[in-house]
Structure 1
Amino acid sequence: MFEAITDEEQRGQVGIGTLIVFIAMVLVAAIAAGVLINTAGFLQTQAEATGEESTSQVSDRLQVVSQSGIVDSGGDQINVTDIDFVVAKAPGAGSIDLNQTSVELIGENGQETFQLDELGSENVSIFTSPNADTVVLTDSSDRAEISVDLGQVSYGNLSTGDRLSVTFTTASGATTTSEIRVPTTLTQDQTSVRL
């Protein structure tokens, strides 16, 4: 069954051949393992980045605390000419730079999109922060007032009964939509109205 090798020269050659095949297999396995480790590392990095971006896109959004309008009774019609929003960070959101936030207005007068930094620093301010120069919401207790002059953004005034959809989109892509409906009756004595 087993053949005994009596020639010493043949025994050494068989051992060297086996050693060469073994070393070749180890090298191939090492190269394959290196490729797998590099691929796994790349996939892990990509998955972490995707997860962070997805989380930001969902959680880094604004929350509208209140909204009101400035009533102008000049002339023969009573209109809402400005809309004031008080906003805060949504729960779980990171820091939100209001200068990098866009606003989209969709209503009976059409559609208008603009960046908050286009309104000017006097129309976007954080009133709970001691540093009035910044427009970044960093703390959950921060509140910012955003005043939108509808004439300045080329949308037009709102009349009684008008509806308006306002969407805030932060730099990470998270959106918040607020629906506005002007009351059907406005009086000349009113200077502002809750929307």
Structure 2
Amino acid sequence: MFEAITDEEQRGQVGIGTLIVFIAMVLVAAIAAGVLINTAGFLQTQAEATGEESTSQVSDRLQVVSTSGNVVENTTDNYVINNVTFVVAKAPGAGLVDLKETTVQVIGEQGQNSTQLDDLDADIESVLDVDNGVLTDNSDRAAVHLNFSTTNGDFSNYAELKSGERLTATFTTASGASTTKEIRVPTTLTSDQDSVRL
């Protein structure tokens, strides 16, 4: 049944062949393991980066604390709002929020428009009442002033806001997280009011 190998040289050749096959298998397994480890490391890094970006998109947003409007008399003896002030803060759990990298989009009866807060006509220090325009702490507050006057306004297609007019402002931070605030001008504006809450 089994053939005995009597020649010693033939026995040695069989052992060397087996050893070569074994070494080749070990090398192939080592290369495959290296590829798998590299791929796993790359996927882990990518997953961590994706998780951080997704978290930032959800949490690194602004919170509108209060909204007020400046009441003025226009040329037709009606009272309108020419300036809206949004007091904003970091939302709970948010990281650093750079207001200079934040955009605001307004949508209302007069159309829609958007701009970056850094591009507002007013001087940046007077627009953003925080150092360098970065909210670092939950107690930080910033006043963002949007000018809706027909002359030197922040939005080319917007005039002053009239009584009863509705407007939606959406603030989007650099990470892509957005906060929407809907404001409505009171139906009655009088000379006794310097500003009104919106």
**2:162 matched to 1:164?**
no
Structure 1: distance between partners of 2:140 and 2:174: 18
- For 2:30, the equivalent position in structure 1 comes to 30
1:173 to 167, 172, 176: 176
Distance in 2, matches of 1:149 and 1:37, equals: 57
AA at the equivalent of 2:154? V
Does structure 1 residue 117 correspond to structure 2 residue 121? Answer: no
CA–CA distance in 1 between the matches of 2:180 and 2:159?
20
Aligned to 1:129: none
Q: How much does 1:189 deviate?
A: 1.1
Query: What's the offset of the Cα at 1:34?
Result: 1.0
- Corresponding letter in the other structure for 2:92: P
Q: How many residues align?
A: 189
The alpha-carbon deviation at position 187 of structure 1 amounts to 1.2
**Secondary structure at the counterpart of residue 166 of structure 1:** strand
Give yes or no for the alignment of 1:194 onto 2:179.
no
Deviations 1:86-119 (A, max 9, x none): 1100011000111110000000011111111112
Matched residue type, 2:128: V
Counting aligned pairs with the same residue, the percent is 70
Q: Distance in 2 between matches of 1:86 and 1:168?
A: 12
Q: Which letter maps to 1:106?
A: I
- Give the Cα separation in 2 of the matches to 1:43 and 1:145: 42
Matched, 1:57 2:61: no
Of 185-194 and 160-169, more deviation after overlay is shown by 185-194
- Alpha-carbon distance between aligned partners in 2 of 1:112 and 1:191, rounded to the nearest angstrom: 26
For residue 38 of structure 1, report the CA deviation from its aligned partner: 1.0
Of the three residues 140, 151, 161, the one matched with 1:142 is 140
Match of 1:18 in 2: 18
The answer to whether the aligner puts 1:81 opposite 2:82 as a matched pair is yes
Q: For each residue in 1:4-39, what CA deviation from the matched residue of structure 2 results, as whole angstroms up to 9, or x when unmatched?
A: 322211110110000000011111111111111111
In structure 2, distance between residues paired with 1:4 and 1:69: 104
Which whole-Å CA distance do the structure 2 matches of 1:34 and 1:172 have between them? 35
Task: Give the conservation status (yes or no) of the 8 Å contact 1:112–1:153.
Answer: no
> Offset of 1:46 from its aligned partner?
0.9
Equivalent position amino acid for 2:129 in 1: S
DSSP 3-state at the match of 1:125: coil
| 2:186 corresponds to | 183
Q: Which runs of 4+ in 1 moved over 4 A?
A: none
Matched residue type, 2:49: A
Q: When the two structures are superposed, what TM-score results if normalisation uses the length of structure 2?
A: 0.92
Counterpart CA distance in 2 for 1:65 and 1:33 is: 55
Alignment gaps of 5+ in structure 2: none
Q: C-alpha separation between the residues in 2 aligned to 1:111 and 1:153? A: 12
Q: In the alignment, which residue of structure 1 is the partner of 2:105? A: 104
- 1:82 touches 1:150 (CA, 8 Å); kept in 2? yes
Unaligned runs of 5+ in 1: 127-132
SS of structure 1 residue aligned to 2:154? coil
